[in-house]
């Protein structure tokens, strides 16, 4: 029941809180009585999933009770899809200057405008870094050149007076508190001061340095790429974010216990993809390829319940991603689509007549048959028939070719409805 509620709330978040240009997804959790706002940014590097999956959990499983939290979960979506640091070069080196021809320019300019908004009080940029930072050299993985398990600051404090301007002090408090809650003792976090203005030319081009030079307190959280699981990376990112919220007196309620087991459950929930308001695909256990999906030849609308859901059209097919995870590929069959005028159809399930929504999943123990309706032609994918319409036919699991199941478990099958030769909707029959 919890995840059903989450799906609904996430649909609303995605539909209502996209930044106007639609290049940058901005999710706002606001309280009208405060201007104090924490801005969390994930996914500036596409091959650092700890950051953007932590941002997605923050967006969907935390309730903000006071002050404000803004989240950009997948800033560099094109690079996330291909699991590369930067598809068009390193986006985190484009905040001093970016060419007009650069394909990252629009996203970079938009996030800069968000950072500079008056109400933004503190900025967190989420990363995964190599190794485990140590002040003293302890080997190839544990050394002063490592970025993993650090809170990175560009300087000790801001030049102008600012409520959260004492960067070194805040970073020290955050890391000390995280180090009391480690999964393994060698996971300790340290503060890494790049002293950017004087010692690090590359970092002078970064997002956090852009922020601090504009008197915005900014920190990077780097979990280690050497952590063995995604859930561990997300665990430390969320611990850090919670510590910053405590420093900013942002009250929050978390809808789960913060541990690896609970995070594994959350990260395994892929949610639902709604297409054109007449197809609803549960992405859990979905096959890697689905063919003959009825779509429009252009202007298809894809809505995900998962914050990190995205589509990339490749070689005529639509590839479905959640973050850097390639979930499935939809091979389309193009139809003209007729707008739905009826919400339900009649189906006899295990001998009982039921009224079912045209885009829902209905559950079957033994068999079902779609009640005849002269308005519609019914096509049950996986059932071989010479009839023009497959309504009025008893369908059991043994009647279906398992090669045509939607899911890997071979229990979920498509029931498609057509009206006057046009596609109307797709329901799903699930055999328990």
Local confidence pLDDT in tens for the 432 residues of the chain: 433 444 344 444 443 344 444 689 999 999 977 889 999 999 999 999 999 999 999 999 999 999 999 999 999 999 999 999 999 999 999 999 999 999 999 999 999 999 999 999 999 999 999 999 999 999 999 999 999 999 999 999 998 888 999 999 999 999 999 999 999 999 999 999 999 999 999 999 999 999 999 999 999 999 999 999 999 999 999 999 999 999 999 999 999 999 999 999 999 999 999 999 999 999 999 999 999 999 999 999 999 999 999 999 999 999 999 999 999 999 999 999 999 999 999 999 999 999 999 999 999 999 999 999 999 999 999 999 989 999 999 999 999 999 999 999 999 999 999 999 999 999 999 999
Phi, psi of 313 (to 5 degrees): -85, 125
Please give the Cα distance from 426 to 381 (Å, whole number). 10
Collapsing DSSP to helix, strand or coil, 240 comes out as: helix
- Is residue 331 located within the same domain as residue 374? yes
Q: How many domains does the chain have?
A: 2
Distances (CA, A) of 59 to 11, 49, 129, 190, 243: 12, 15, 23, 26, 16
Length of the chain: 432
- Is residue 333 located within the same domain as residue 372? yes
- Residue 292 pLDDT: 97
Residue 240: which CATH number?
A: 3.40.630.10
Whole domain around residue 73: which residue ranges? 2-267
- Is residue 143 located within the same domain as residue 169? yes
Phi, psi of 327 (to 5 degrees): -90, -50
- Is residue 249 located within the same domain as residue 356? no
Q: Is 313 left (phi over 0), alpha (psi -120 to 50) or beta?
A: beta
Q: For residue 165, what are the contacts with CB-CB under 8 A and spacing of at least 6?
A: 157, 158, 215, 217
Distances (CA, A) of 279 to 39, 177, 340: 34, 47, 12
| C-beta of residue 430 within 8 angstroms of C-beta of residue 397 | no
Kindly give the residue spans of alpha helices, DSSP state H, lying in 47-104: 49-61, 77-81
Residue with tokens 């504009």: 214
Tokens of 79: 């690079």
Collapsing DSSP to helix, strand or coil, 400 comes out as: strand
């Amino acid at each position: 029941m919890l995840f059903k509620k989450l799906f609904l709330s996430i649909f609303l978040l995605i539909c209502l809180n996209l930044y106007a240009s639609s290049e940058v997804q901005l999710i706002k959790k606001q309280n009208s009585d405060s201007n104090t706002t924490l801005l969390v940014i994930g996914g500036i590097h596409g091959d650092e999933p700890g950051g953007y999956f932590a941002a997605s959990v923050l967006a969907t499983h935390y309730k903000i009770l006071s002050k404000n939290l803004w989240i950009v979960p997948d800033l560099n979506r094109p690079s996330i899809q291909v699991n590369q640091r930067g598809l068009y070069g390193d986006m985190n080196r484009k905040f001093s200057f970016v060419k007009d021809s650069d394909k990252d320019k629009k996203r970079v300019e938009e996030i800069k405008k968000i950072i500079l908004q008056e109400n933004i009080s503190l900025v967190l940029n989420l990363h995964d870094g190599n190794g485990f930072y140590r002040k003293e050299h302890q080997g190839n993985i544990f050394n002063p050149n490592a970025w993993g398990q650090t809170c990175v600051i560009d300087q000790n404090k801001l030049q102008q007076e600012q409520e959260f301007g004492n960067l070194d002090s805040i970073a020290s408090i955050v890391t000390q508190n995280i180090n009391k809650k480690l999964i393994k003792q060698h996971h300790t976090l340290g503060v890494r001061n790049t002293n950017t203005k004087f010692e690090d030319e590359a970092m002078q081009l970064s997002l956090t340095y852009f922020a601090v030079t504009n008197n915005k307190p900014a920190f990077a959280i780097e979990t280690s790429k050497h952590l063995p699981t995604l859930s561990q990376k997300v665990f430390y990112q969320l611990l850090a974010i919670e510590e910053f919220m405590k420093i900013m007196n942002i009250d929050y309620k978390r809808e789960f216990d913060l541990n690896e087991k609970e995070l594994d459950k959350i990260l395994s929930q892929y949610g639902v993809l709604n297409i054109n308001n007449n197809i609803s695909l549960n992405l859990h256990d979905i096959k890697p390829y689905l063919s003959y999906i009825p779509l429009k030849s252009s202007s298809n609308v894809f809505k995900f319940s998962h914050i990190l859901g995205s589509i990339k059209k490749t070689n005529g097919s639509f590839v479905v991603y959640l973050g850097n995870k390639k979930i499935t590929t939809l091979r389309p069959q193009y139809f003209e689509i007729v707008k739905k005028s009826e919400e339900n159809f009649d189906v006899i399930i295990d001998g009982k007549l039921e009224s079912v929504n045209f885009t829902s999943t209905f559950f079957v123990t033994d068999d079902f048959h779609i009640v005849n309706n002269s308005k519609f032609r019914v096509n049950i994918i996986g059932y071989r028939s010479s009839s023009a319409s497959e309504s009025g036919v008893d369908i059991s699991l043994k009647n279906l070719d398992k090669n045509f199941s939607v899911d890997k478990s071979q229990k979920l099958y498509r029931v498609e409805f057509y009206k006057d030769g046009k596609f109307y909707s797709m329901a799903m029959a699930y055999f328990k």
